[in-house]
Amino acid sequence: MTEFLIGSIETLAAYAPVWGFFLVFFFMTVESSFIPFPSEVVMIPAGFLAARGELTFGMPLLDAGVCVLMGTAGSLTGALINYGLAAKVGAPFLERYGRYFFLPPPSLRRAEELFRRYGAGATFVCRLLPAIRQLISIPAGLARMAMRPFLFWTGLGAGIWVLVLTAVGAFIGARTATMGYAELVHTGTAMIKDNTVWLIPTLVLLFIGYVLLTKRIMASSPQENSASHSGS
């Protein structure tokens, strides 16, 4: 399937100067919904084309920035589709019929387990993990997670992932004049895998630090309020 998608994206590259940003948004919406495929086949070539000046504005930094925005917006849209469908149809329907929509029960149960254990943290960290990133929005929808934190953590995780992919594509594009799309995607994917060993733990530590800081602030607020009332 990956090779088929690479061939399709390569064919559509001829329309990149006009339709490139829309295509990024469209494919990332599909990628983030219940039809999973590797986001690497979209965002790495997008970064490559941006670096080569082959997108709408012909300005590498601007084009790359718009690619990140459109890719993140597409990821959020797809995540909202999953969230809404899960909230509407419920867990029994997904357990019974999910396999017909690329949602096998073992994958669904794994996503539910991660969400129950880590909550909002799962919607952030899992956006950076292959195979599970598209599915983590489903248990969030089943649990009817509050929309604001869902959008924040999903958007943050998706934005970081899209930024990494775009940056890898731009890095290759700035150093390579010609490269086939298949080679481009595989080269960029290999670069990401080689650095995942430090990227994911760093992001997890940042999230843990944020949670601990938030809990500390929330715990100190009542004490400060009571102290101010007693002083008055």
Q: What's the pLDDT score for residue 214?
A: 62
Question: How far apart, in Å, are the Cα atoms of 189 and each of 144, 160, 185, 196?
Answer: 34, 15, 6, 10
Give residue 119's pLDDT band: very low, low, confident or very high (50, 70, 90).
confident
The tens digit of pLDDT for each residue in 161-183 reads 999 999 999 999 988 877 888 88
pLDDT classification of 228: cutoffs 50, 70, 90: very low
Number of domains composing the chain: 1
**Does pLDDT of 43 surpass 90?**
yes
Q: How confident is the model at residue 123 (pLDDT cuts 50, 70, 90)?
A: confident
Would residue 213 count as lying in a domain? no
pLDDT top residue among 31 and 14: 31
Provide the phi-psi class of 180: left if phi over 0, else alpha when psi is between -120 and 50, else beta. Answer: beta
Instruction: Tell me what the mean pLDDT of segment 118-124 comes to.
Output: 79
H-helix segments, the chain = 2-12, 16-32, 40-51, 60-89, 91-97, 105-118, 120-125, 137-142, 147-175, 181-231
The encoded tokens of residue 157 equal 């995780």
- The closest of 123, 34, 148, 138 to 86, measured between CA atoms, is 138
Q: Which amino acid is at 177?
A: A
Mean pLDDT, to the nearest integer, of 51-64?
A: 94
CA-nearest of 197, 196, 189, 94 to 137 is 94
Residue 79 lies in a domain: yes
In a domain, 212, yes or no: no
On whether residue 232 sits in a domain, the answer given is: no
Q: Which residues contact 151 (CB under 8 A, 6 or more apart)?
A: 76
Query: What does the pLDDT look like over 72-81, one tens digit per residue?
Result: 999 999 999 9
Kindly report whether the global pTM for this prediction surpasses the value 0.85.
Answer: no
In a domain, 231, yes or no: no
Residue at 208 is within a domain: no
In a domain, 226, yes or no: no
Q: Which domain holds residue 190?
A: 2-195
Does the residue 76 lie in any domain?
yes
Mean pLDDT of the chain: 83
Q: What is the pLDDT of residue 2?
A: 62
